Chain A
Amino acid sequence: VNRRSLSALLLLVLLAAACGQKAGVSQQAATAGGPAVAAGGDLGEPAVGDTTVTTAAGSSGSASGSTSGGAAGGTAGGSTVTTAPGASGGGDSGGAPPAGDRTGITDTVIKIGLHAPVTGAAPVPQQAFERGLPVYWNFVTRTMGGVFGRRVQIVFRDDQFNPAAAVRACREMVEQERVFLLIGAAGADQITACAKYASGAGVPYISAGVNQAGLSGLRGYFAGSQTYLQQNPMLAQLAKRTTKNNKFAVVIEDTPTFQESKASILSGARAQGLQVVYDRDITKNASQAEILTISSQLRASGADVVYFLGPPTALIPLAQQGQSQGYVPAYIGPGLSNGLNLVTAVGCPGLSNSLYLSPFPGLDAIDRLDANYRREYRSQTGSEPDDLGIALWGLNKSVHQFVLTAGKDMTRQSFVQALETGRVFASNVFPPVQYSARNHFGAASSHLLRADCSARQWKTAATFVDRF
């Protein structure tokens, strides 16, 4: 019996040790006095997997006086993480750093991780991407001396338009590069996968708006522009205004992530009195036969407006095959990668009548909205500005506003809380956003792009529209 008890005790000890601190768990010394407390490893939700736990001083010194350190704490990998009682964060009024996780922030640098599909099914030109990525932050460093005296360092990873690769990339940026927050540039499935990982790891995550399913309820996730669900009622209105025969078709990539969007656009179209004559899923890497079949069926359906939600690598051949079948409808949809000029460059003239909503304006409107972009892009890169650069400029500009609001001594927790205060963030490139604790999908407008196939570019038909 004694031996059994001893074995059981040994097992318990081993189990406890195994559930304790793991590789990748960081500890940061408190920089101010006061008793050390453990801050919430996540952003108030039960953490899954690896967790960053930061030991910090439970001190005060906040403009907002908000409580940081996670709303309720949680269980991280089996170990208990407690909330920092009375610790406060946010604001930039000085004083001792608030309790919370400051991974990725030093006296001189703020590290931000960004992933995007440079390769894969929604390819983005790598050189253009790498050129455009640092332009905004270089501008901030030169003209404003950085963010609270710190230089922003962007760590970038290609997610290959693959959710598994995206999670690997995000994990690497969090655990090895030790970034403060993550940004997802494009790709709904990749953004969803990374946001879930980031939530488990207690890392704030910001992306352009995509789906809501799988993202709502993630405490650290914030959509920087309208989600598909928010755009769909507008797109149904747009379809009603655009159609000449009232026949409407829907083609959506067959990923579970988009099912909510499919239901939403179908009900929106019916609410507008549109006749839905075709409704089909398309695979991510659609074969020639699939593309030809769908374009033939679309033509036969007679739809003159087609809602398309999927990667450019499916939209481009669909438009081209449609055109080869003498069928050029108005493709409409929520834009992100489909609103880039690389799509019209190849998809025209099949995209001649197309209209896409987009979180960023076209090259023809950016000077009116932000005069700095073109000048900075040219002077920093020596190249002509492109719309991919606008997307990156706008996204980074929004993040800049978020960081400024979170304050000099921000932690991951106070950053989230600062965004939830209800303040309106208006970058004048991306649409204005306003978040609350209950709503992290805070945008209410988008830009409308119209394909100009004579120039093989998207032109801005309207800015910050919220209805048609």
Chain B
Amino acid sequence: MLRDRQGLLVGTGIAAAAVLLLAAVGQQQALIIGLISGASYGLVALGLVLVYKSSGVFNFAQGEFGTVAVYVLWLATTNDVPYLAAIVLALAVAGTFGFLTERVVIRPLAASPRVTVLVASAATALVAVAVELWVGQARIRPVDPALARQDRVEILDVFISDQRLLIFVAIAVIAVALAWFFSRTNLGLAILAASQEPTATNLVGISVTRVSALVWTIAAVLGGVAGVLTGPLAGFGPGFLTIGSLVAAFTAAVIGGFTSLPGAFLGGVIVGVVQSVATSASIFQEIPGPQTASLFALLVVILLVRPQGLLSR
């Protein structure tokens, strides 16, 4: 029992130690900022974990599922489509994009080495960025948030907007739903089985190809959720999630354990906290690019000390 909970205990211990350390050095605000920004990274990381958990593929197109969704949201809202309908449309387009990616790119490469599939997913992202450049030009565009109030909560001198709170709610709901889905439903178990023993899964009558299509569609919808929730925070442009969040989300997924859905959220928060501390702490001021350097150092430490990630068994 204790062994089963080892990852959770390690994660909780590290989180508690981090909170105490930040409080001791006067960086409490970094914790709040880390939570706020880390939730966005975690949202992208969830989709990465889902695809990896079910197919073992590092999906470099995950950010573009979200960017395409926010472009659809922008196009729809600027053409007077009601906001809720625009969000549904955006998620539907993102899901379709994920489904088509699986059918056109991933499935034909099913027998190829994983690295080939990885490169194919990166190529998909590049094509998507090119289309976004064609449709929306290389400019930053504003899109309205779902919830407009900026100063709903103030913690340690940091205002948290309703849109940020919505991201927290979304990530919590999605993480719980996916955890339940993978542990309690036949379809979830079928997905796990297909990733671990595809031949045996086929033999018991489960279509591995359909399972794969479903996983990519769900992952794309998750990416879409990340896009429509984070896009309005500071505007968006071609490849905004790939450029702005994908590396952080990959780091978050690795820190959390690439198969752990709660780990994706925890990893996102840790990445956000580290970036915030690297920005604000005076000891980092003389280092060029302290955010990236500190993130890299953290990643190296995690891979050396606990290569399976904090919440992975």
Contact = CB atoms under 8 A, between A and B. Distances in A.
Contacts of B30: 293
B275 A290 contact: yes
A212 B6 CA distance: 58
B244 A123 contact: no
Interface string A288-305: 111111101101100000
A439 interface: no
A173 interface: no
Interface in B1-46: 29-30, 33-34, 36-38, 40-41
Nearest to B143: A346
B139 A289 contact: no
A288 B138 contact: no
Most B CB contacts (10 A, CB to CB) among A118, A296, A312, A326 go to A296
Contacts of B161: 324
A270 B276 CA distance: 29
Nearest to B27: A293
Interface string B140-164: 1110000000110000011101000
Interface residues of B, number: 44
B280 A345 contact: no
Contacts of B140: 123, 312-313, 316, 342, 346
B234 A283 contact: no
Contacts of B37: 287-289, 292
B40 to A, nearest CB: 6
A321 interface: yes
Contacts of B278: 290
A345 to B, nearest CB: 7
Contacts of B285: 280-281
A119 interface: yes
A126 B29 contact: no
A370 interface: no
A323 interface: yes
A320 interface: yes
B138 A124 contact: yes
B69 interface: no
Contacts of A454: none
B279 A288 contact: no
> Could you tell me the dominant secondary structure of chain B's interface residues?
helix
A256 to B, nearest CB: 8
A123 B38 CA distance: 26
Which of B158, B243, B288, B289 has the most A CB atoms < 10 Å from its CB?
B158
B235 A316 contact: yes
Residue among B142, B271, B292 with the highest chain A CB neighbour number at 10 A: B142
Interface in A282-338: 283, 285-294, 296-297, 299-300, 312-313, 316-317, 320-321, 323-326
B201 interface: no
A5 interface: no
A317 B291 CA distance: 17
Highest count of chain B CB atoms <10 Å: which of A289, A292, A313, A324? A289
B84 interface: no
Contact of B291 (A287, A320, A324): A287
A254 interface: yes
B243 A285 contact: yes
B286 to A, nearest CB: 10
B133 interface: yes
B159 A126 contact: no
A226 to B, nearest CB: 26
Interface in A8-31: none
A348 to B, nearest CB: 9
Nearest to A292: B33
B137 interface: yes
Interface in B243-300: 243-245, 248, 271-273, 275-276, 278-280, 285, 288-289, 291-292
Given A125-B137, A325-B159, 11 more contacts: A118-B138, A119-B133, A289-B271, A289-B273, A290-B291, A292-B158, A293-B29, A324-B150, A326-B150, A346-B141, A346-B235
7 contacts: A280-B279, A287-B248, A290-B276, A293-B33, A324-B233, A326-B159, A346-B140
Interface of A: 118-120, 123-128, 254, 280-281, 283, 285-294, 296-297, 299-300, 312-313, 316-317, 320-321, 323-326, 342, 345-346
Shortest 7 CB-CB distances between A and B: which pairs? A289-B275, A317-B234, A123-B138, A288-B37, A289-B37, A293-B279, A346-B235
